[in-house]
Structure 1
């Protein structure tokens, strides 16, 4: 079940404002060019930022997400008619014979159990053509991202169409490999408060490489995330024939 930050319509509507400029997306466009990928699946596409960029470059794009509220935001954005939007997760993807599947942001870390992660990798493999690629990022556990999260000050933004919204982040549990954190959003126009709790799994590089091999992928490269040097791994894996 996706977190409220993606499924609650009020939170989905302000998600992009608090998510920032998404400096990570240019790297994924570059990788798509490098791999000559024409058919792309964006799993956990959320409000569609990357899917829309990929489609604008002339590619055939499927954006899939289990959070209906996030998809509704995506569908309302300019250029949304160029993307095929699917409500679901990796286990519900059709046979797309895609050249590339991607998971950006924290998507690869939301699968907390070995079973959920295995089913996700199997579903993505099935959606790719033989020789197609899977590219995703995951935070390095040793960089302890949750320490920075815990020190974050509240943020107030004036969101178009919504007004002033305050976001507070609290780290509520660190039990590696799982880290849990709690968002509180206060809509200052009417004083309403909406909360969301999330948990991410921090996997070691060797664990991810082993899982990819087990589920029919060959690891071709492990890169830096240009927007977060030294903080994340970007895995480039190829579906084995």
Structure 2
């Protein structure tokens, strides 16, 4: 029984619906997007954030870039947004956007120092002087990966009638966490396993990379309610300005 890349993209939307009224993180980004004249969503995935912005009346330029072809197929169901296949480092430096975003912890997919440097340089090059880059990364002190390996997702009703469950196997090595996402039927039959890695940067090295790329920290929060970063924070939510 197959479970395709297109199925994975659909499952992502089922398990991570964009809802600014319900989720504080979605509300945080929605406000920024709606206030910006032009927006580039880096790692846009299935495009839910930009779809919603257009539906809610955003009239400016909206563009998304992502290397996942199946996710972009879902994004391209809406044709009044620009969709580009590629990684963050592939962005052309035209200095034409007011706001760049990386939502859903996409920044953590940048693993090496070189990849972070190239990606930040490209994002800076896409922004006008004074433009803003908003993104979040999980604070390493919260050790989120320890919870991912506990239990499974519970039943997920898929569009074709199948009942699915998801679980993770994880291994932390320094600031890199390697994970295998297992998608299975409710009876335990494994449909596919997807391997990936995430990098957990602390505040100081993260801000050093931003400064090196020509960004100044405008604001940095430990939660989606604009609270400060504390010893209990689970997130590092950053708005950086292109200097």
Q: TM-score, normalised by structure 1?
A: 0.86
Q: 2:178 — aligned with what?
A: 180
The answer to whether the 8 Å contact 1:27/1:226 transfers is: yes
Q: 1:151 is paired with a residue of what secondary structure?
A: coil
Matched residue, 1:216: 214
In structure 2, the gaps of 5 or more residues are 228-232
Hey, what's the Cα distance between the residues in 1 that align with 2:170 and 2:113?
23
Deviations 1:3-52 (A, max 9, x none): xx9x822211211112255522111112335xx41100000000111111
Q: What root-mean-square deviation, in Å, do the aligned CA atoms of Structure 1 and Structure 2 show?
A: 2.3
SS at match of 1:81: coil
Residues 146, 228 of structure 1: CA spacing in aligned structure 2 closer, same or farther, 3 A cutoff?
farther
How is 1:71-110 mapped onto 2 (pairs within 5 angstroms)? Answer: 71-76=72-77, 80-94=78-92, 95=94, 97-110=96-109
Say whether residues 1:239 and 2:242 are aligned partners.
Answer: yes
When normalised by structure 2's length, the TM-score is: 0.86
- 1:58-137 matched pairs, under 5 angstroms: 58=58, 59-76=60-77, 80-94=78-92, 95=94, 97-137=96-136
Structure 1 ranges of 4+ moved more than 3 A: none
> In 2 relative to 1, CA 30–154 (structure 1 residues): closer, same or farther, beyond 3 Å?
closer
Work out the CA distance in 2 between the residues paired with 1:154 and 1:228.
29
Measured after TM superposition, the shift of residue 96 of structure 1 is 5.3
- Pick from 196, 199, 202 the counterpart of residue 198 of structure 1: 196
Aligned residues of 1:167 and 1:183 also touching (Cα < 8 A): no
Uncovered stretches (5+) of structure 1, i.e. residues with no partner: none
